Amino acid sequence: MSLVSQQRREGASASRRRWPIGAEVLAEGGVAFRLWAPRQRRVRVALVGEGGRVARTVELTAEEGGYYAGVCRQTRAGDRYGFLLDEDERLYPDP
């Protein structure tokens, strides 16, 4: 659940990605997230703070083909995160 990849507005899609899905650190700052969740109606990135508690969430934008994407400007390599799907408050790891 930590950011491992190298590589634009909070919650908006990132257009220049090295990989089609996953978390990528952006050169201009922040982390771009994109995942495939075709059965979900809502996807959020949950940034995990001290004690494993959710410190902050960022709503991802639905794209064609069941993908969700967005950018967390205040996130950086090594930060812990997971996904919140629909209204379920369980934290799901990045597959």
Domain harbouring 8, CATH code: 2.60.40.10
Domain total in the chain: 1
Supply the range of the domain harboring residue 51.
1-95
DSSP-derived pairing of the beta strands 22-25 and 43-48: unpaired
Residue 4: per-residue pLDDT: 38
Report how far residue 52's alpha carbon sits from residue 41's, in angstroms, rounded to the nearest whole number: 25
The residue type found at 9 is R
For the entire predicted model, the pTM comes to 0.78
Q: Name, in order, each residue with C-beta under 8 angstroms of 30's C-beta and a sequence gap of 6 or more.
A: 8, 10, 71, 72, 73, 74, 75, 76
Per-residue pLDDT of the chain (95 residues; tens, 9 = 90+): 444 333 333 444 444 667 789 999 999 999 999 999 999 999 999 999 988 899 999 999 999 999 999 999 989 899 999 999 999 999 999 87
